[in-house]
Amino acid sequence: METKRILQEALIYEILSVVEEIPEGNVATYGQIAGLIGKEKNARLVGKVLSMAEYYGTYPCHRVVNHAGRLAPGWFEQGILLKEEGVPMKDSTHVDLKKCQWDP
């Protein structure tokens, strides 16, 4: 049981370390982060980890959006934070991925 928890924490920190690398003014998608850690089909896992990120430290989770550039539903502050960083928006709920998607 202890090994499973350690692996889970290692995965959590692997995801968060990628999120930490997203530069100000850019965004990444959940799927993009999943791919960068070798778990291409686990975009939802990335979302789940990010929803609990506050328990692991301070990370720029506001820089992560879905594959269409949509902001997280119900997280009003995300759009404010992204606009403050100069991220171009298509509308009030979508960033313009063509102009601001992170290219690691």
Helix (H) or strand (E) holding 2: helix 2-21
Query: What is the secondary structure of 66-90 as a DSSP string?
Result: -TT-BPPTT-HHHHHHHHHTT--EE
If you search the block for the tokens 């070798």, which residue do you land on?
38
Output the CA–CA distances (angstroms, integers) from residue 18 to 5, 21, 74, 92, in the order listed.
Answer: 20, 5, 24, 26
Helix (H) or strand (E) holding 16: helix 2-21
Any idea which residues carry the catalytic annotation?
A: 61
